[in-house]
Structure 1
Amino acid sequence: MKKITLLFTIVTQFLVAQNYTEYATGSATDISTNHEFGVCMMGGASENDDAMIWFLEKANGGDVVVLRASGSDGYNNYMYSGLGVSINSVTTFVFNNEAGAIDPYVLQKIENAEAIWFAGGDQFDYVSYFKDNAMEDVLNTFINTKQGVIGGTSAGMAILGGGYFSAENGTVTNAQALSNPYHNRMTLGYNDFLNIPFLEHVITDTHYDDPDRRARHAAFLSRYATDNNTRAFGIACNEYTAVCINDIGRAYVFGEYPDYPEFAFFLQSNCTTDFMPETCIDGQPLTWNLAGEAIKVAKIPGLYSAENYIDLTDWSNSQGVIWENWSVTNGSFSMSSTVNPECDLLSVTENEMLDISVGPNPFKNVIIMDSQLTNFEVKVDDVFGKQVSHYTNQSQIDTSRLASGLYFVSVSSQGLQQTFKMVKK
């Protein structure tokens, strides 16, 4: 019997080792801290130390989990002791398959973490191993319920948007994407994987120093707009640049400009009624021109101090931005300079003011209406105009199920309406 038990133990350990490898640094005892939500994205070369410090500080001394499908323990000492930020532990999991990703021990480690980092590699490994299973559920709970900090570089950044390029059939070049936006390498996913506040309609891209990136990113957005009949957005980084988004949606850009040409790019479909591509059809070259203004791009230098930013609640309020127009005509990509488009994502029409106040702002789990109104309706829309809640004659609204981000709260009574722009922390 002892021999059989020993053999079972060895086989079990062997199978686990084949599914994933674990590297642990620091304390083995889990702790809970007063962590903060945030998103940190890097362009794919060596990490920006200042941005990584920002990421680690959000964990507030807690536990960091690194997820990867190649490599080994390169992040452990760097995060644990190399940046001067005190944290409890760093645990890296290197996965070989989906079975490793959904191992209960792994899922518990992620549940207990205060910070999660996706390493570079092949993003289709992450899509294959993490999507539509228990790992996806645990990650989304961590992001939207626990509200920990999350981040990634290269392939790890590529999967963080609501839309994403999966690279299922390999990478895609500018020429392939522009000549046919439905090329078999244009494998995109939409709003079916990670649900991260402020990135709902965003497709990310990395390694933007590579000239074979920007035009294909425009093609990604054209596909998103066409396939979903909505405006599309993108965030991209040069290789040594980082974008860090705080809990109210302000995206700060870290880099070493002007010593080096380090920029982040924030793309959005033109904020006009007619924003759709003129020709986005399988087998035909892409045309998305709109008088040369199809895509409005905020090009932001990354500074050591990260003073430059754009507010992702309106994609307009910003500092240090160089604005550009991008367009595509019959498969030919063009860029030109422009000015801040100054357009809100949601048009808000207000009639005569109601005698009502709504707060707090920012809010967390409840919104309170202070008014003498006895008959009124309350509608809550997300930043893209989708209604997420509807109430009648309720002075307190439970918002605990809403993700962090910008919302528009409209109160109407007796033909009058007032709309409040509010942020959930």
Structure 2
Amino acid sequence: MKAILKTLLAAVPFLAAQGAWAGSTYTYSYVGTPSAPVSAKPVSCVDTACTPSVVLMGGGYDVGEAFRWMIARAGISRAAGGRFVILRATGTDAYNGYIYSHLGQVDPTTPKNYETVGGVDLGVTSVETLVIPTRKAAEDPFVLGVIARASAIFIAGGDQADYYNFWQGTALDTALQNAVSAGIPVGGTSAGNAMLGQYAFAALNGSVTSDQALADPFNRYMTIDPLNTSSKKFVQTGSFLAIPSLEKTITDDHFNTRDRLGRLFGFVARIGNGCPGGAEAFDAVVGIGIDEETALLVSGPRGSVKAQLVANPYNADNTTPPYTAQNSAYFTKIVRTPSQCVAGKPLNDNAGIQVYRMSAQLAQPSPYPAAPQYSFKSQATFNLSAWTQQAAQTYADGSSLNGPYVYGTANGAILGNQVR
């Protein structure tokens, strides 16, 4: 992923001061001026009532427009300033230069000539990265202070088992929840995305494939937080984050590239009470799968939550059969009790699974001559609060909402409508 591989710190001269140091258990680096006065206030707050602004990103090359949306939702401007904080358990501070950049610049670390975010022109006064690789680091006062002062927070990719083991139930976890409650925009990509729903695939025993999830939804790799998992280092007691707009939701990423529809079916089934140990009504759980180079912008008060699609131009490297749509998000719900959901046997659900697919158009012309490949916000939206009121349609910009497609599962295979 770009978040791991790109080397903007070496490739692009910084636009302002930069610094880095290591604490006893963490590392911290920044570009810009963290000490600059900031008056940015989240636009989703009215008086003391705030609603969340959340970015769910599917991994791969980052989607610049999603970061710009976070900056806008944070109330960051050239007059107000703003601190953009990146959190991770491993990796580098490559996001610093990617976000702290000018509009229209090409990111030289990607072969596609994708754009950078342009945060400087939008008013970002600093981008700060914290690498927090232990539970001790997640309790450090300096770390907590950086998070408390953040105008926007983004959790990078990596391994969500690290996030679970190192951050779950710590003071860092509490600080993030406080930020969500205060309307601070939060987002994540890949492993970071996986931790943002009420339920999370924690990957404590490694990843799981669709074939494994369908063949036995109780196999050892199906570690779902907070349904039935516990770490060797501590016992979990609740969700990593409680984001009202993502209640009863589990998210997944790298969706079409790694053929994850089947495993999302397994996740949603396990959380519902149609399977032993399920914690929610089976028809109330929503699974959201997101393609690489694609993101959802989730906002709105409880009861009126909508997700809008943003994406990079279509990259054929991300599409693998049987998926035919590009830059898509998939919304999944089980509407009939599974006929079989027990340990050691396949998940059987005869035509009881509904899927909506929301897709972006292939490309748009760039507004910046120097950056021919730029990300864009599509017109397509999905109402997360009104599942039964969705209507398939194609929007004026070519984006679309399709479905509900009807699926079933039996003997470890997906049955029914195979349009993906």
**TM-score, normalization by structure 1:** 0.70
Letter in 1 for 2:357: K
CA contact (8 A) 1:65 1:90 kept: yes
Cα separation, partners in 2 of 1:107 and 1:256, compared to 1, 3 Å: closer
- The unaligned stretches of length 5 or more in structure 1 are 1-14, 339-425
- The unaligned stretches of length 5 or more in structure 2 are 1-20, 44-51, 77-81, 102-115, 227-237, 317-325, 362-375, 394-399
How does 1:99-178 map onto structure 2 within 5 Å? 99-144=136-181, 146-178=182-214
Residue of structure 2 in register with 1:77 after alignment: 97
1:288 and 2:349 equivalent?
A: yes
1:192 and 2:239 equivalent?
A: yes
CA contact (8 A) 1:255 1:301 kept: no
Secondary structure at 2:99's aligned position in 1? helix
Q: How far apart in 2 are the matches of 1:38 and 1:229?
A: 24
Residue of structure 2 in register with 1:95 after alignment: 132
1:241 and 2:321 equivalent?
A: no
Secondary structure at 1:60's aligned position in 2? coil
Residue 75 of structure 1 and its aligned partner are, at CA, apart by: 0.7
Moved over 4 A (4+): 256-260
Per-residue Cα deviation, 1:358-381 (whole angstroms, up to 9, x for no partner): xxxxxxxxxxxxxxxxxxxxxxxx
Per-residue Cα deviation, 1:129-184 (whole angstroms, up to 9, x for no partner): 1111211111111102x111000100000111101100000001122111111101
How does 1:288-367 map onto structure 2 within 5 Å? 288-289=349-350, 292=351, 294-303=352-361, 304-315=376-387, 316-317=389-390, 320-323=400-403, 324-336=405-417
Q: How far apart in 2 are the matches of 1:192 and 1:20?
A: 24
Letter in 2 for 1:94: V
1:252 and 2:296 equivalent?
A: no
1:179 and 2:198 equivalent?
A: no
More strand per residue? 1
Secondary structure at 1:19's aligned position in 2? coil
Secondary structure at 1:110's aligned position in 2? helix
Cα separation, partners in 2 of 1:234 and 1:150, compared to 1, 3 Å: same
Residue 229 of structure 1 and its aligned partner are, at CA, apart by: 4.0
Specify which of 17, 33, 36 is matched with residue 40 of structure 2. 33
CA contact (8 A) 1:256 1:302 kept: no
Cα separation, partners in 2 of 1:258 and 1:132, compared to 1, 3 Å: closer
Residue of structure 1 in register with 2:29 after alignment: 23
Residue 276 of structure 1 and its aligned partner are, at CA, apart by: 2.2
CA contact (8 A) 2:158 2:192 kept: yes
CA contact (8 A) 2:59 2:190 kept: yes
Cα separation, partners in 2 of 1:211 and 1:80, compared to 1, 3 Å: closer
Residue of structure 2 in register with 1:44 after alignment: 59
Q: How far apart in 2 are the matches of 1:281 and 1:253?
A: 35
Residue 123 of structure 1 and its aligned partner are, at CA, apart by: 0.4
% same residue: 33
How does 1:259-278 map onto structure 2 within 5 Å? 261-270=326-335, 275-278=336-339
Letter in 1 for 2:90: S
CA contact (8 A) 1:80 1:86 kept: no
Residue 258 of structure 1 and its aligned partner are, at CA, apart by: 6.8
Per-residue Cα deviation, 1:365-423 (whole angstroms, up to 9, x for no partner): xxxxxxxxxxxxxxxxxxxxxxxxxxxxxxxxxxxxxxxxxxxxxxxxxxxxxxxxxxx
Residue 78 of structure 1 and its aligned partner are, at CA, apart by: 1.3
Residue 120 of structure 1 and its aligned partner are, at CA, apart by: 0.3
Letter in 1 for 2:287: G
Residue 337 of structure 1 and its aligned partner are, at CA, apart by: 6.9
Larger Rg: 1
Q: How far apart in 1 are the matches of 2:24 and 2:205?
A: 25
Per-residue Cα deviation, 1:273-328 (whole angstroms, up to 9, x for no partner): xx322111111111122xx1x22111001243310010112134465211112221
Secondary structure at 1:124's aligned position in 2? helix
Specify which of 251, 256, 278 is matched with residue 204 of structure 1. 251
Cα separation, partners in 2 of 1:300 and 1:335, compared to 1, 3 Å: farther
**TM-score, normalization by structure 2:** 0.71
CA contact (8 A) 2:63 2:295 kept: yes
| C-alpha RMSD of the superposition | 2.0
Q: How far apart in 1 are the matches of 2:416 and 2:139?
A: 44
CA contact (8 A) 1:23 1:73 kept: yes
Residue 214 of structure 1 and its aligned partner are, at CA, apart by: 1.0
Cα separation, partners in 2 of 1:102 and 1:16, compared to 1, 3 Å: farther
Residue 22 of structure 1 and its aligned partner are, at CA, apart by: 0.4
Q: How far apart in 1 are the matches of 2:145 and 2:331?
A: 35
Residue 259 of structure 1 and its aligned partner are, at CA, apart by: 7.6
Residue 269 of structure 1 and its aligned partner are, at CA, apart by: 2.2
Per-residue Cα deviation, 1:103-137 (whole angstroms, up to 9, x for no partner): 11111111111211000000011111111121111
* Higher RCO, Cα 8 Å, sep 6+: 2
CA contact (8 A) 1:16 1:100 kept: no
Residue of structure 1 in register with 2:74 after alignment: 59
Q: How far apart in 1 are the matches of 2:343 and 2:129?
A: 41
Letter in 1 for 2:30: A
Q: How far apart in 1 are the matches of 2:268 and 2:199?
A: 9
Letter in 1 for 2:38: I
CA contact (8 A) 2:214 2:413 kept: yes
CA contact (8 A) 1:264 1:302 kept: no
Letter in 1 for 2:383: D
Cα separation, partners in 2 of 1:259 and 1:130, compared to 1, 3 Å: closer
Q: How far apart in 1 are the matches of 2:68 and 2:280?
A: 39
